C-alpha cells in the first residue's frame, strides 16, 4: 500500500481532502489548483509548464517555476512529502486511483461495461457526486478542461441507470430528476428522450407529447434543424405509428475507412498497446509521432480489428494539419461528418459551435469509429469529438499534450521502427529473397533511412528503380550525409518525399521556433545538451527549454533525458540543410564547451591547469559535474560533438579556441584510449599553436600527438613527437610540461623494449618535478610513471614500491582519488613482482575502493588483473578467472590491447586447469 493510503481527494463537488475521515484544510488558491491537476492525472507526472498554464493562464509571475515550487512545498505540508512527489520535469501524487473520487467513478463506470453487476457499479459511481465537479477550484483553465468531461460522465451514468430501470418498467421515480436535468441541459436530446419515455411509461402520455413539442421547438429555434431520428421515433411511437420500430434502421451506415496500406510490417508492441487501451475503456486515443513514421498506416491496420466493435460504421477525415494544402477547418470537417450520418445540407447549422453540438447530439446513441487523421492542433480537433458511445482515433505530428490533459484522451507515441521491423518492411517491398541475399547491406540501408517507414519504402524504390543494382549500392548512395535526402527525394509526389514531409512540420512552426530549429542545425552532433543549446541560441536556460519543448511537441526534436535533446537522423540532415552561417552562435557554443570541459577536467583529475582564456558566454554557465563519474559520463556523451567543434574552430581560424579544446580533451582521451580522436584533435592543436606562434602551446600540442601515438600502438612515432615537444617546452621555459613529456617518453621507451632508457628518462622527469614545489601533482604523476617502469623488474621492484608510496601520500593530500586508486593498483602489480600476493590483494582492494563511486574505466581493470594474478599465486585459479573476466568485461570494447593480454591470461589459465 502506498503512503497516506487513508487519504481521500474529493473532486466531484466542492474540493475536499479527508484523512481517516477528518477534513484536511486546503486553502483556496494555487494549492487547490495544483492538487486537483495532480489528482486528475492519476499518478502521472504533470509538468511544470502545464501547472503554470493552469495557475496563471498566461499572466505569469516573474519566476513561474519558482512560484510553482513554493505552492508544491505548501501542499506537501498539508498532504505529506511522501504523497506529493517530484518526477521528470514536474510533480505527481503517489496515491491509488481509488483515493480520488473522480478516478474511482471513471473506473466504476468502465467496470460496469464488463461486469454482471452493472447496476451496482453505476449506482456506486453516481453516489460519488456531491454537486458540480471541481467546486472551489480557482482555475478557469482546469475547470474548462475537466468539468465538462466529468459532467458528461455523470450524465451518461444517470442515463445508463435509467435504461436499466426501463427494462424493469419502474421509471416513475426518474421523472423529477430528468426534468431537472433537462432544465440544466435543454439541448441534450438523450435526456429529453428518456424523460418522454418515463412520462409515457408512467401513464402521463399527454405530458410526454408536450415535452416532445417543447424539445422540437427549442431544437428548431436553437439549431435550425429537426430533432434527431431517434427522438422523432419516440414521438411516433407515442402517436402509435408502426414505422417507429424501423426508423432507426434508416440511418446511413458510413464505411469511409481507406484500405490498409501495403508493405505494413511489425508494430506488434504498438498494436498490443492500442488493444490494451481500448479494452481498458479508452475511447479517444491519440497516435502522435514524426512525419513519415507510419501513424496513418498503423491506425488503418488496427481499425480493421475495431470495425466489428463499432456497429454504426466508420468515418475517416484527413484534416490536412501538416502538408502542402491548407488545414481543413472544423466547420467543414463537421459538415462532412454530419452528411455522412444522414444530416441533410439544409439542416446544417451555420456556425462551428452549433455544428459541433449537433454532431454530439446525433452521435450520442451511436457506436461509430471516427478516424481524424493528420490533426494540426487541439483547436482543430476539439469541435470534432463525437458522443460518448463512439471511438475516436486521432493521428498528429503534434503530441497534443494539452488535449490529453484537458479532454482526458489517451496518447500513444508511434516511434521509428525496430531494426527487425525495418528489415521486414524492406522485405515486403523488395521480396524476402532479395533481402536475405544481402543481410548486412539491408541493415545499413535501414539505418541510413533512419528506420522511418516512409524513408524505408522510398529506399526500397531506389533499389528497385536501379535495375540490377545491389542493396549495397543503394546504401552507398545514401551514405553521404549531405546528399541523403536528395537520393530519397521524389519531385512528382511530395507525400512520398521525406524532405517535403519533414518540411511540413517545419513550416507549421512560428517564426521563433523555425529560427531555433535552423540554429540547432549548426550543432555538429544529433544529440545536444540543453546548456549547449542555450549557448548556441544565445538564450537563457528556461527560454531555451521552452523553445526546444515546442519542437518536441511536433516531433522535430526528441527528449533524450532531462539534460539532452536529439534529432532523428533524417531530421538532423534537414536541419543542417536549413542552418544559416552564424559565427557568433558557433563561437558561443565553442566557448561554452571550453568552460565546461575545463570544469570536467578539474573535477575528474583534480587538475585546474589550462584555465580557459575566456569566460563562458552569458547567460549560460558551465555544466556542474559531480566527481569523476559525472565528469567522465559527460565527456563520453559529449566527445563526438566536441571533436567536431574543434574542427569547426579550426576551419574558422579560431586558433585559441581550437587549441584550448584539444588541450582540455587530452586527459580524457588518453585515459579512455581514444587515440584515433586524439590524433585528429592534437593535429589541429599543432596547427593552431603554430598559427599563434606560441612555443608553449606548440609543445603541449606535440605532447598530445605523442600520447595519441603511444596509446595507438606506435611508440616510435610517439618518441618523435615528444622529442620535438620537449625542445619547444625547454624553449618556452615550461619545466612542468617538460616533466610531463619526459614521463611520457619513459612510457614510450618501455613500450619499445628499452627499460634502461625508460627509467633514465622517467628519473629525469622526477628530478624536474621535485623542483616544482607549487605543482605537487606533477611530482606524483612523474613518480607514478617511474614506478610503472620499475615495477616490471625484480631488480627495481623495491624502488617502485617506495616511489608509489610517496605518490600515494601526495595524491591523498591533494584529494586526487582517481590517481590515488591508480597508484594502489600499480602498487598491487609491484607487490606481485616482489612475490607478495597477499599484499597485492590488499592493494588491489584499496584501489577499487578509491574509485568505486567514480565511474572509472582504467583503475578497476588494472587492479582486477593484479588481484587475479595474486589469487592464482595463492592457489585459487577459480577466483583468478572471476577477477580477470570482470576486468575483461569492462575493457573488451574500449581497450583492445589490454583486453588481448587478459584474454591470453584466461586462455593459459583454462589450459592449465584440470578438465
276 and 408, same domain (yes or no): yes
Inside any domain, residue 110? yes
The whole-model pTM stands at 0.65
Higher pLDDT, 238 or 732: 732
Three-class SS of 845-888? HHHHHHHCCCCCCCHHHHHHHHHHHHHHHCCCHHHHHHHHHHHH
Inside any domain, residue 517? yes
Listing from the earlier edge strand, what are the strands of the sheet with 22-23?
7-10, 16-19, 22-23
Rounded Cα–Cα distance for residues 276 and 122 (Å) = 23
For the chain, give the mean pLDDT.
86
Residues 93-98 have a mean pLDDT of 91
CB-CB contact of 604 with 667 (8 Å):
yes
Q: Which of 317, 306, 285 is nearest to 368 (CA)?
A: 306
pLDDT at 99 over 70: yes
- The region of weakest confidence among 88-97, 233-242, 665-674 is 233-242
String of b and e for 512-531 (b: at least 16 CB within 10 Å)? ebbebbbbbbbbbbbbbbbb
pLDDT of residue 249: 40
Residues 409-428 have a mean pLDDT of 91
User: Where does 80-139 have alpha helices with state H?
Assistant: 101-112, 118-126
Question: pLDDT confidence of 699, banded at 50, 70, 90?
Answer: very high
Output phi, psi for 17, to 5 deg.
-125, 130
Inside any domain, residue 242? yes
292 and 408, same domain (yes or no): yes
pLDDT in tens, 142-162: 888 888 888 888 888 888 888
Which CATH number do you get for residue 846? Answer: 1.25.40.10
Inside any domain, residue 443? yes
376 and 480, same domain (yes or no): no
Question: pLDDT confidence of 113, banded at 50, 70, 90?
Answer: low
pLDDT of residue 804: 92
Question: pLDDT confidence of 247, banded at 50, 70, 90?
Answer: very low
pLDDT of residue 37: 94
**326 CB-contact burial (10 Å; exposed 0-12 / middle 13-18 / buried 19+):** exposed
CB-CB contact of 239 with 213 (8 Å):
no
423 and 559, same domain (yes or no): no
pLDDT at 178 over 60: yes
CB-CB contact of 663 with 612 (8 Å):
no
Give the H or E element holding residue 721.
helix 715-732
String of b and e for 272-306 (b: at least 16 CB within 10 Å)? eebeebbeeebbbbbbbbbbbbbbbbbbbbbbeeb
pLDDT of residue 261: 82
452 and 402, same domain (yes or no): no
389 and 439, same domain (yes or no): no
Dmax (CA) for the chain in angstroms is: 118
Q: Which of 554, 576, 210 is nearest to 375 (CA)?
A: 554
pLDDT at 38 over 90: yes
CB-CB contact of 350 with 223 (8 Å):
no
pLDDT of residue 548: 94
DSSP string over 878-914 = HHHHHHHHHHHHHHTTT-HHHHHHHHHHHHHHHHHS-
According to DSSP, residue 565 is labeled: E
Higher pLDDT, 258 or 893: 258
Output phi, psi for 11, to 5 deg.
-120, -15
392 and 435, same domain (yes or no): no
CB-CB contact of 314 with 371 (8 Å):
yes
3-state secondary structure of 288: strand
Rounded Cα–Cα distance for residues 144 and 167 (Å) = 36
Cell output for 57 = 493562464
Residues 310-319 have a mean pLDDT of 90
Rounded Cα–Cα distance for residues 878 and 382 (Å) = 67
CB-CB contact of 356 with 246 (8 Å):
no
Inside any domain, residue 79? yes
Rounded Cα–Cα distance for residues 239 and 234 (Å) = 9
Q: Cα torsion at 366, 370, 375, 379 (round to 10°)?
A: 0
CB-CB contact of 418 with 265 (8 Å):
no
pLDDT at 672 over 90: no
Residues 121-141 have a mean pLDDT of 90
Inside any domain, residue 739? no
404 and 290, same domain (yes or no): yes
Rounded Cα–Cα distance for residues 342 and 321 (Å) = 26
| Domain end residue (candidates: 201, 222, 250) | 250
pLDDT of residue 244: 34
Residues 739-753 have a mean pLDDT of 92
| Domain end residue (candidates: 126, 161, 185) | 126
Q: Quick one: how many helices (H) and strands (E) in the chain?
A: 43, 14
Residues 20-33 have a mean pLDDT of 92
Q: Tell me how far apart the terminal alpha carbons of the chain are, to the nearest angstrom.
A: 53
Residues 760-774 have a mean pLDDT of 93
Question: pLDDT confidence of 234, banded at 50, 70, 90?
Answer: confident
Q: Which of 209, 151, 204, 199 is nearest to 175 (CA)?
A: 199
| List of residues 6+ apart from 483 with CB closer than 8 A | none
Rounded Cα–Cα distance for residues 7 and 319 (Å) = 44
Residues 663-677 have a mean pLDDT of 86
246 and 183, same domain (yes or no): yes
Residues 643-665 have a mean pLDDT of 94
Inside any domain, residue 550? yes
3-state secondary structure of 765: helix
- The region of weakest confidence among 92-96, 431-435, 476-480, 893-897 is 893-897
pLDDT of residue 793: 78
pLDDT at 15 over 90: yes
CB-CB contact of 555 with 505 (8 Å):
yes
Cis amide leading into 619 (omega within 30): yes
CB-CB contact of 859 with 847 (8 Å):
yes
pLDDT at 609 over 70: no
> Domain range for residue 482?
419-497
pLDDT at 855 over 80: no
The proportion of the chain whose per-residue pLDDT surpasses 70, expressed as a percent, equals: 93
276 and 400, same domain (yes or no): yes
Q: Which of 467, 460, 451, 525 is nearest to 488 (CA)?
A: 460
| Pairing verdict, β 284-288 and 16-19 | unpaired
Rounded Cα–Cα distance for residues 793 and 606 (Å) = 31
Q: Per DSSP, what are the bridge partners of residue 317?
A: 372
pLDDT at 226 over 80: no
pLDDT of residue 245: 34
> What is the Cα 545 distance to its own chain's centre?
14
pLDDT of residue 101: 95
Rounded Cα–Cα distance for residues 423 and 431 (Å) = 11
Helix axes 439-448, 453-465, angle to 10 degrees: 130
Q: What are the distances in angstroms from CA 781 to CA 723, 788, 819, 837? A: 19, 11, 8, 25
Question: pLDDT confidence of 867, banded at 50, 70, 90?
Answer: very high
Radius of gyration of the chain (CA): 36
Q: Which of 655, 522, 644, 681 is nearest to 586 (CA)?
A: 522
Place of cell 540543410: 577
Question: pLDDT confidence of 325, banded at 50, 70, 90?
Answer: confident
CB-CB contact of 688 with 663 (8 Å):
no
Rounded Cα–Cα distance for residues 833 and 840 (Å) = 9
pLDDT of residue 782: 93
**54 CB-contact burial (10 Å; exposed 0-12 / middle 13-18 / buried 19+):** buried
pLDDT of residue 58: 67
pLDDT in tens, 578-600: 998 899 999 999 999 999 998 88
Opening angle at CA 299, ends 297 and 305, nearest 5: 115
Q: Which of 502, 497, 498, 512 is nearest to 554 (CA)?
A: 502
How many beta carbons lie within 10 A of that of residue 20, not counting itself? Answer: 8
Output phi, psi for 646, to 5 deg.
-60, -45
Question: pLDDT confidence of 497, banded at 50, 70, 90?
Answer: confident
Residues 544-568 have a mean pLDDT of 90
| List of residues 6+ apart from 133 with CB closer than 8 A | 11, 12, 13, 102, 146, 147, 150, 151, 154
Residues 349-365 have a mean pLDDT of 87
Rounded Cα–Cα distance for residues 906 and 904 (Å) = 5
477 and 573, same domain (yes or no): no
- Looking at the structure of the chain, the number of domains it has is 6
Inside any domain, residue 75? yes
427 and 406, same domain (yes or no): no
| Domain end residue (candidates: 580, 601, 634) | 580
Rounded Cα–Cα distance for residues 759 and 754 (Å) = 9
pLDDT of residue 794: 79
pLDDT at 116 over 70: no
3-state secondary structure of 469: coil
Give the H or E element holding residue 315.
strand 314-318
pLDDT of residue 646: 95
pLDDT of residue 853: 67
| Pairing verdict, β 22-23 and 16-19 | antiparallel
Amino acid at each position: 500500500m502506498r503512503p497516506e493510503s487513508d487519504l481521500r481527494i474529493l473532486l466531484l463537488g466542492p474540493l475536499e481532502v479527508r484523512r481517516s475521515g477528518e477534513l484536511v484544510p486546503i486553502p483556496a488558491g494555487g494549492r487547490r489548483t495544483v492538487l486537483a491537476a495532480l489528482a486528475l492525472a492519476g499518478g502521472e507526472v504533470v509538468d511544470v509548464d502545464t501547472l503554470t498554464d493552469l495557475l496563471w493562464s498566461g499572466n505569469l509571475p516573474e519566476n513561474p517555476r519558482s512560484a510553482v515550487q513554493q505552492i508544491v512545498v505548501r501542499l506537501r505540508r498539508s498532504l505529506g512529502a511522501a504523497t506529493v512527489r517530484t518526477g521528470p520535469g514536474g510533480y505527481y501524487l503517489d496515491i491509488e486511483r481509488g483515493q480520488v473520487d473522480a478516478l474511482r467513478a471513471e473506473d466504476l463506470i468502465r467496470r460496469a461495461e464488463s461486469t454482471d453487476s452493472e447496476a451496482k457499479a453505476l449506482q456506486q459511481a453516481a453516489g460519488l457526486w456531491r454537486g458540480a465537479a471541481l467546486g472551489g477550484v480557482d482555475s478557469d483553465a482546469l475547470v474548462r478542461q475537466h468539468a465538462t468531461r466529468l459532467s458528461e460522465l455523470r450524465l451518461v451514468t444517470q442515463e445508463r441507470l435509467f435504461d436499466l430501470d426501463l427494462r424493469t418498467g419502474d421509471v416513475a421515480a426518474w421523472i423529477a430528476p430528468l426534468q431537472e436535468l433537462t432544465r440544466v441541459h435543454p439541448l441534450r436530446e438523450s435526456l429529453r428522450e428518456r424523460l418522454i419515455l418515463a412520462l409515457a411509461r408512467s401513464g402521463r402520455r399527454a405530458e410526454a407529447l408536450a415535452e416532445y413539442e417543447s424539445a422540437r421547438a427549442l431544437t428548431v429555434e436553437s439549431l435550425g434543424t429537426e430533432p434527431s431520428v431517434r427522438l422523432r421515433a419516440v414521438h411516433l411511437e407515442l402517436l402509435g405509428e408502426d414505422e417507429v420500430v424501423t426508423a432507426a434502421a434508416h440511418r446511413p451506415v458510413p464505411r469511409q475507412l481507406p484500405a490498409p496500406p501495403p508493405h505494413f510490417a511489425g508494430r506488434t508492441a504498438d498494436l498490443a498497446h492500442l488493444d490494451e487501451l481500448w479494452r481498458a475503456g479508452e475511447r479517444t486515443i491519440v497516435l502522435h509521432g514524426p512525419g513519415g513514421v507510419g501513424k496513418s498506416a498503423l491506425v488503418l491496420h488496427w481499425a480493421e480489428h475495431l470495425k466489428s466493435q463499432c456497429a454504426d460504421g466508420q468515418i475517416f477525415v484527413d484534416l490536412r494539419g501538416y502538408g502542402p494544402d491548407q488545414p481543413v477547418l472544423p466547420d467543414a470537417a463537421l459538415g462532412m461528418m454530419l452528411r455522412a450520418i444522414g444530416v441533410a445540407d439544409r439542416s446544417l447549422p451555420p456556425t462551428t459551435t452549433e455544428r459541433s453540438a449537433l454532431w454530439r447530439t446525433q452521435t450520442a446513441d451511436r457506436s461509430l469509429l471516427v478516424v481524424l487523421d493528420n490533426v494540426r492542433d487541439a483547436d482543430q480537433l476539439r469541435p470534432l469529438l463525437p458522443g460518448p458511445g463512439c471511438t475516436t482515433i486521432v493521428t498528429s505530428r503534434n503530441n497534443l499534450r494539452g488535449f490529453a490533459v484537458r479532454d482526458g484522451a489517451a496518447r500513444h507515441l508511434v516511434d521509428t521502427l525496430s531494426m527487425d521491423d525495418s528489415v521486414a518492411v524492406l522485405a515486403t517491398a523488395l521480396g524476402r529473397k532479395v533481402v536475405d541475399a544481402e543481410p548486412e547491406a539491408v541493415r545499413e540501408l535501414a539505418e541510413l533511412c533512419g528506420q522511418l517507414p516512409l524513408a524505408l519504402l522510398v529506399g526500397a524504390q531506389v533499389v528497385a528503380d536501379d535495375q540490377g543494382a545491389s542493396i549495397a549500392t543503394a546504401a552507398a548512395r545514401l551514405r553521404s550525409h549531405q546528399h541523403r535526402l536528395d537520393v530519397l527525394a521524389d519531385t512528382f509526389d511530395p507525400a512520398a518525399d521525406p524532405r517535403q514531409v519533414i518540411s511540413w512540420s517545419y513550416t507549421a512552426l512560428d517564426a521563433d521556433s523555425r529560427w531555433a530549429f535552423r540554429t540547432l542545425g549548426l550543432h555538429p552532433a544529433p544529440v545536444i545538451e540543453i546548456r549547449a543549446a542555450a549557448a548556441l541560441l544565445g538564450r537563457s536556460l528556461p527560454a531555451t527549454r521552452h523553445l526546444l519543448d515546442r519542437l518536441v511537441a511536433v516531433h522535430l526534436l526528441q527528449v533524450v533525458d532531462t539534460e539532452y535533446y536529439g534529432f532523428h537522423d533524417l531530421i538532423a540532415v534537414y536541419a543542417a540543410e536549413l542552418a544559416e552561417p552564424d559565427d557568433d552562435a558557433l563561437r558561443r557554443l565553442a566557448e561554452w564547451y571550453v568552460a565546461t570541459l575545463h570544469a570536467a577536467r578539474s573535477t575528474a583529475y583534480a587538475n585546474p591547469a589550462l584555465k580557459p582564456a575566456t569566460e563562458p558566454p552569458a547567460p549560460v554557465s558551465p555544466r556542474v559535474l559531480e566527481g569523476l563519474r559525472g565528469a567522465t559520463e559527460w565527456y563520453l556523451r559529449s566527445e563526438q560533438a566536441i571533436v567536431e567543434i574543434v574542427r569547426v574552430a579550426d576551419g574558422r581560424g579560431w586558433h585559441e579556441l581550437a587549441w584550448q579544446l584539444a588541450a582540455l580533451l587530452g586527459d580524457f582521451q588518453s585515459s579512455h584510449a581514444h587515440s584515433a580522436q586524439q590524433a585528429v584533435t592534437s593535429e589541429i592543436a599543432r596547427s593552431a599553436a603554430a598559427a599563434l606562434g606560441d612555443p608553449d602551446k606548440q609543445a603541449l600540442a606535440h605532447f598530445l600527438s605523442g600520447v595519441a601515438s603511444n596509446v595507438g600502438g606506435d611508440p616510435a612515432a610517439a618518441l618523435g613527437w615528444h622529442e620535438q615537444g620537449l625542445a619547444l617546452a625547454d624553449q618556452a621555459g615550461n619545466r612542468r610540461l617538460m616533466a610531463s613529456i619526459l614521463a611520457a617518453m619513459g612510457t614510450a621507451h618501455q613500450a619499445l623494449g628499452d627499460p634502461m632508457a625508460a627509467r633514465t628518462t622517467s628519473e629525469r622527469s622526477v628530478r624536474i618535478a621535485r623542483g616544482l614545489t607549487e605543482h605537487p601533482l606533477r611530482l606524483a604523476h612523474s613518480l607514478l610513471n617511474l614506478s610503472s617502469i620499475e615495477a616490471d623488474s625484480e631488480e627495481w621492484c623495491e624502488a617502485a614500491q617506495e616511489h608509489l608510496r610517496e605518490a600515494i601520500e601526495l595524491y591523498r593530500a591533494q584529494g586526487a582519488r582517481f590517481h590515488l586508486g591508480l597508484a594502489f593498483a600499480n602498487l598491487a602489480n609491484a607487490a606481485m613482482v616482489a612475490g607478495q600476493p597477499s599484499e597485492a590483494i590488499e592493494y588491489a582492494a584499496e584501489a577499487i575502493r578509491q574509485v568505486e563511486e567514480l565511474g572509472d574505466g582504467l583503475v578497476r581493470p588494472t587492479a582486477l588483473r593484479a588481484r587475479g594474478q595474486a589469487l592464482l599465486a595463492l592457489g585459487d585459479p577459480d577466483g583468478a578467472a572471476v577477477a580477470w573476466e570482470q576486468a575483461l568485461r569492462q575493457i573488451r570494447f574500449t581497450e583492445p590491447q589490454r583486453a588481448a593480454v587478459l584474454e591470453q591470461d584466461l586462455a593459459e589459465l583454462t589450459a592449465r586447469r584440470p578438465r
